[in-house]
Structures are given as C-alpha cells and as structure tokens.
A and B are shown apart, each in its own frame.
Chain A
C-alpha cells in the first residue's frame, strides 16, 4: 500500500514542479513585458557600468556603425557579448525581455538540478520551492527586469555549478572561462569548482574529513581551463579588432575607472581617496578577494559545493562593481542547503538587516541624485548596512556549515571555539 502511494505521488511531484515552474516563468514573462524595464534600466543599484543594458545597446550601435566601442571609455562589456548581440540576436526591447526571462528560468532550472544532484534524487518535493526562491527573489528579479547582464552571469554560474556537480569537466571549464570573460572576479571560483569536479556534490557537512580526492587530477583540469580562456581571449580580440578591450573590461575590475555609485563598498571609498593612495588601495582591495579562496577551500574540503557557495557570498559582498544580483545569487543558493537551517545563529537579524538596507537604498539614492535633498552620505550609509547584511549572512552560513558537524546541543555539554 505504501508502495502504491509512493508510485502515485511521484508523477504528482513532477507535475507539481512542472506546473509551479511554468506559472513562475509565465508571471516573470508578463512582468518583463510591461514598461517597467524602461524605468529600471537607469537604476544604478540594479545595473553597474559593467552590466548596464544602455551601455550594451550603445556598444552594439557603435559596432554596427564601424566605430570601435573600446576606443573610448564607457563600453565595458565583453566582446563575446558584443558579437552575440550584434550578429546572432538583434536586441529589440521585447526580444531582450524574453531573453532575460528565459535566462532566469534557465538559472532556476540549473539550481533545481543542482539541488537534485546533491540530494541524489530524481525529483523531490522541495523543487518548486527552490525554483521559487530563485525566480521570486527581488534581488534577482529586479536586475533581470532592468535588463542587467548580471542575469547572464548568474545563470552561467549556476550552469557551471550544475555541470561540476554532475562531473562534466569540459562543460564546467568552458562555461567558467566564458564566465571569466563576463567578469574577471569569477577567477575566485576556479579552485572550489575544480575540487567539486574531482569529488562529489553530496552533503558531507555533517561528517567532515580530509578530502579523499586525488589532487594530481587538478593539473590537467587547470591546463584545460587555461586553454579555453586563451581561446576565448583570442576570439574576443578578433571580434574587437585590437587588444584594447582588455583594459576596458578586465582592467575596469582592477583599476575602477568608473565611479558610478552601486551597492558595493568600493565606489565611495575610491571617490574620496586622494590620488596618492589610489594604487595601493586598489591592490589591497583586489588581493583581499583572493585571500579567501584557499582557506575556505581547505576548511570545506569535505563539501566543495558548500565552499563554492561561501565564495559566492564573498564575491557578492566584496566584488568591485556589485549590484543587487550578486548577493542575490548567494541568498537564493541557501535554498539547497536546508541541513544548515537549524544551526543558523541569527537569521532574523540578517533578514531584518537586508530589509532595512533594501528599503533605504533606493530611497536614499533617489534623495541624493534625483531630488537633491539628500547627501551622498545617506546612500553610502545604506550601502554600508547592506554590506553588513551580506556579511551577517555570510558569517552565519559559515558558522552553520561548520557547526553542523558537531551535532545537536546536549545537556551538560557546551560547544566553544578555540
């Protein structure tokens, strides 16, 4: 009898997920076809100079009219995106909205697949919830409505993680090198994804042990990644016609030429900096991103998927040109680690900090730039609170991921750190 109920519930689960997914995608599609994009595409919290749709349209226009978009200073998208949209996919407003919605739908699907692989099931009851947590997350929804190319980066990141979980090394490395061309900061994800490739994606958080993976296998993978990156670089150079795209795109992450406000911590810091100290602090901020890679991978060597997740959180907080979608990816990915929920120490505080920041940031941005009654400090303070919120989520996730190994609290014993 129980067997009967199991077989009858399985098509119910899959049809439930299919229905829920289609409803979500349809709702997103409807939203994206309203006029909201024209208003949102100017918003500086939803798209940075590296991901702005207007800049993309401008670059394609210049490219089609024979002017090199990289000879000036404001086009910072990768030549791969430029060639894709200039040749394969003409960018009209309606088609763009459709493409962005499909990208988000793909990202949600990749996340659900990752969840399924981690749980080692074909489908589960939580699939619809995972997809909803990605598609309805306002941090993912709003930048996608604003047609920011960070939606592509997010979907591609989730695809890379899914391929790595399934053990498909070629697909993982190729999509990671494509992702590297979209934004240079994703080099940080190379090590955890390689570790994920050579071990398994299942949850080992509760039973940490030194990794049993054979580290020698890493070298050919790194070589393959380097090959793909070099190939894509050469293709980009062919498309762009010269090497000038490198300082414009990758160089932007390293030298921060454009000080347009966004939700990150870099822009105001480098606005207020005297020129004498600029190179030193640029170096500090860039190296700061790199120092987290090896320690996090070592500490979470038993569960590289969790290391990937943690590093995504670090990227979302400390990256050069962040928008809402970078921490949004981190927050949506919490959905696939339900085993850590009981061990989170201050989820309510994190949620309240995020609520506080996400309500005040657009308000202060409007007060500063449109209405003129507020100062730059108002918006800066709200980005500080946002960074606090991201930091709180990050620290709590790391704590929960480590604490889960100890188990539940038992009377007469206490858990301390030493």
Chain B
C-alpha cells in the first residue's frame, strides 16, 4: 500500500504528460439505464462512450500514404486502427439475438435491433482502392476483432440503402461523395466469444465500473440481448465511439412468488464493487414506475422527470441498486398498443418450394396519416414479382398506399434486391401488402451444410418519416427504424448423395440416344437373300 502510494504521483504525472503530448483529449463516460417494461420484463441498456476530442475521420485521399501516429489512452486502439486503415467516417455494428417486441417494449434506446449481425458504414470515395475493396477489408477486420463471421457479409448480402440508413453523426465535408455499404446476417449467433473482445475495447475492461456488471451467464440468458459498436463524428466535438449492450431480462422467471422486484444482484448476479477511475461520469439511470407504490434502494443522487439518477462514484461500494414492489405482479389484461406509432408483422406464405407470397401487415395506431419508408434488402434467393405488389385495407385492394418505388433487381448468385417504397398509411387502419416471390434453385455447392434448415432472410425496415394532417396534438416519437423479424425460407434441395449417379444416368441416356442415331445415320441398309437349305 505504501509502495503503491509512492508510485501514484509519478504515474499521475506521466499520465498528464502523455495526455498533453498526445494529439487529442479523450473522455470516457459510462451509463446504465434500467426500465421496467409493461410485461414485467426489465430492459437494461449499457452505454460506454469514448470521445476523441478534436479528431476527424481520415481523409480517404490520404489512404495511399502512411498514416500519422495516433496516441490513444482511453480510445480503443484496435478499433481506431481499423477505422483509420479503411478511412471510415461512420460505422455501426450490431450483434443481436432474439426478436425485439415493439408492441410491448416500445422503441429500443439503440435503434439497431435487427436479428443477427448488421454492419453498415459510411465511407468517403476518392481513395486509391475502391469503396467495395475497403468494405471487404473492413468486414474482415471487424470479423477478426469481434470473432463474428462478418467476413461472409459479402456481395450476396451487401446493399446501399442510403435513405433509410442516414448518418447518425455528421459526415466530413471533403469534396468527395460519401457512400454507404450495409450488410446483414440474420443467422449469426451471439455468445461469450463476441462479448470478450467487446469488453477489451473498454478502458477498464470488465474489472471496474459499470462494465463489471456484464456477466455473460446472465446476459446471454436474457430474452433479448444485443451488443453494438457505433462510431460517429460529431462536428463540434470529435470522433465518438459508443459501445452499447442492451438486454431484456425477465425477473419473473427467477422469482419464487411472482414478484417483479429486481436489483443489480438479481439481474446480473454482480454488483458494482469498484468505480472506473478513467470514467468522467458513471451513472445509473432508473425509470421509476408510475402509478404503483415501490421502494428504491439506495436513495438516488437526484431525480428528474421520473428518472432516478445514481452517480456511482459517490456511493459506497459494493453498490446494489434495486426496486421492490409490495405486491405480486399481475399480467395486464391488455397491453398498451400505442407505445410506437406502427406495428409491423412480416410473413412468408405459401406451401410450395418453387414460389410463395411475401406479406407485410402494418397497423397505424395514430389518428393521423403516417408516411413511412419501407426497405427490403433480400438476397437473390427470393425474387420479387413487382407487378403483383398489392396493398389492401380490410381485404379491399387500395391504390395510393405504395408510391415512389425504387428497385434494384437482384443478380443471380450475386447482388441482393434493394426494394424501397414510400407508404402512406391511413389513420387507425391495418394495411396488408403482398407480393409474389419465386424461390431459387441452388447449385450443389451453394447449399450450406445444414441445407434442410433453410436460409435466414434479413429483416425489413420501416422508418416512419412524418405525419400528414396531424389533428391530434399528441406527439409520439416518430424517430427510428422499426425492424421486422427475420424470415426463414426453405429452398428445394437436390439429393446430396447423388452427383455421380446423376452424371452417370444422364450421360448414359444421352450416349444411348446418340449411339442409336449415329448407328442409323452412318450405316446403310443392305438386302440379304436368305438361302433356304434344300436339304432340310
């Protein structure tokens, strides 16, 4: 302890010197938001933000030459190197498992809740290498960094939906255009091996601070969990890296007498034992329940607008925050259906493995017309018949709901479909949009090892844009993308044990017919006199 105190002053001085000598000031904040949802579940959102003040993304024109050295203390070096190597202006990677239930849980705090892996990036053009080559390098580098199979997000899954995935931050104003590349892999599984490199990007790792609550046993047991890496540039501040982890856990599952109570110990099986010394602010925000009595322990540092704020550094460690209710939880008879303006459900109908029908049902809960953007990025396996696109309200076909269709057709064994339409949804109505699709027949080598499982299709994304004729003064949040669930399509498989047999059968038949025709064409008929043996 004494020796530690002796080293403390030189270390702080060294830290200060390095911080001054290094190019930028860095700032690390951590935050945990906990909300109780209406079906008894608890949503926890971990947000770790590192800000590199004054920095800008690397100009793609400089990609050919050596980069200037970057000195980071708190900013994750592995991620920073990847960003500078490929000249990425904005990057979003999410690895989610489960289906976010918008009707019961409302809008998530981090908008990217599509199942599986989703990676999208805005990059400036004008470098020596093309954007697609840099995208490929970026995918593979992120795959290596996060131990996720992001390298398979190749041309079969990459599209450029620039209207739906608008930049969250600002894009630097170089005189080159910025392009987006987006790919999603719904079949990606998320587990501890993805969490470990995620934690390594944090300055305190999982040893202290709020990150010490990230217990993989509990996190991956949750009803829904997803991690995200978001890199953006804020023009007046600098480059921001935001690492997020969202979970929806179910305390009712663990409680013996249907109590909705939760605490950090029951949710994560851990408590905050030590504050992260590098964090500027370390907060836990708890949404306080409305309308029912409750008790919250310990007392929050401050409360504003129904949110209890705990500044963890001012509390005694170990810190265990929790809420308890006096009565057992009652499942509501009917869930409030107006947490978000639109409810979306997408299904693939049809029993044939040759063709089917894609159907998407959107319910508008508002009493004003909503204009929304509908985006489908479908791999080439499922090909749309746009001429069969129909919108029905109450079973009656209606024009005027779908407009402004922009469509990039798929290329077999290559580019996916990008279908983008503007929907005008009438108030308080359910619209059903259907379209015929054909299912592809793949080559032997294109089928995955478990071919009978089928292929996962990425979610469709509905983005509400604006309200038209808004008579109602209530303002529901219209921001954010709504992801539908991923679909599973089973394609017809050939018999995998038969390649040799098929070649043999077909070639034999062709040879037989060819041989007979060859015989007939090259031989001539001859009349032969039969000698009748007179002696017999």
Inside 8 A of A295's CB, which chain B residues have their CB?
Answer: 518, 521-522
Q: Which residues of B contact A317 (CB under 8 A)?
A: 513
A417 touches B523 (CB 8 A): yes
Partner of A269, one of B351, B495, B503, B523: B503
From 359 to 400 in chain A, residues with beta carbon under 8 angstroms from any chain B beta carbon are 368-370, 372, 375-377, 380, 384, 387-388, 391, 394-395, 398-399
Looking at the complex, which one of A271, A402, A412 makes contact with B441 (CB distance below 8 Å)?
A271
- Nearest B residue (CB) for A69: B409
A292 to chain B, nearest CB (A): 7
Q: Is A73 in contact with B411, judged by CB distance below 8 angstroms?
A: yes
Q: Please, which residues of chain B bring their CB within 8 A of the CB of A275?
A: 443, 445
Any B CB within 8 A of the CB of A257 = yes
- Smallest CB–CB gap between A10 and chain B, Å? 40
Q: Provided the pairs A375-B495, A376-B492, A391-B509 are in contact, do residues A259 and B529 lie with their beta carbons within 8 angstroms?
A: no
Q: Which residue of B lies closest to A277 (CB)?
A: B503
Residue B444 CB within 8 A of the other chain: yes
Judge whether A259 and B442 touch: CB under 8 Å: yes
Give complex CA distance A196, B512 in Å. 29
Given the known inter-chain contacts A42-B355, A58-B386, please indicate yes or no for A403 contacting B443, CB distance below 8 A: no
Name 13 interchain pairs, CB-CB below 8 A, sorted by A: A42-B354, A72-B409, A259-B443, A269-B506, A295-B522, A370-B352, A376-B492, A376-B495, A391-B509, A391-B513, A391-B516, A415-B525, A417-B520
Contact B513 A67 (CB under 8 A): no
Tell me, yes or no, whether A87 is within 8 Å of chain B by CB. no
A72: chain B residues at CB < 8 Å are: 408-411, 415, 417
* CA A57 to CA B385, docked complex, whole Å: 9
Report yes or no: B495 in contact with A260, Cβ–Cβ below 8 A.
no
Chain A contacts for B519, CB-based, 8 A: 417
Contacts of A271 in B (CB 8 A): 441-444, 494, 502
Please, how many angstroms separate the alpha-carbon atoms of A399 and B525 in the complex? Answer: 10
Q: State in angstroms the CA–CA spacing of A375 and B438 once bound together.
A: 20
- Interface hits, B221-275 → A, CB 8 Å: none
The closest CB in chain A to the CB of B502 belongs to A272
A412 to chain B: closest residue by CB: B530
A368 and B509 within 8 A (CB): no
Contact among B405, B417, B513, B528 for A414, CB-based, below 8 A: B528
Residues from 249 to 296 in A contacting B, C-beta threshold 8 Å: 257-261, 265, 267-275, 288, 292, 295-296
Residues of B within 8 A of A370 (CB): 351-354
Q: Assign chain A's interface to a size class.
A: 35 or more
A272 touches B498 (CB 8 A): yes
Chain B residues within an 8 Å CB radius of A314 = 517
A95 at the interface (CB under 8 A from B): no
Chain A residue nearest in CB terms to B354: A369
Q: Residue on B with the closest CB to A411?
A: B530
Task: Give the Cβ gap from B30 to chain A, nearest Cβ, in Å.
Answer: 47
Is A57's CB under 8 angstroms from B510's CB?
Answer: no
| 1/0 contact string of B283-313 vs chain A (CB within 8 Å) | 0000000000000000000000000000000
Which of B385, B442, B506, B530 is close to A268, meaning CB atoms less than 8 Å apart?
B506
Nearest chain B CB to A24 CB, angstrom units: 32
Chain B: CB-nearest residue to A395: B516
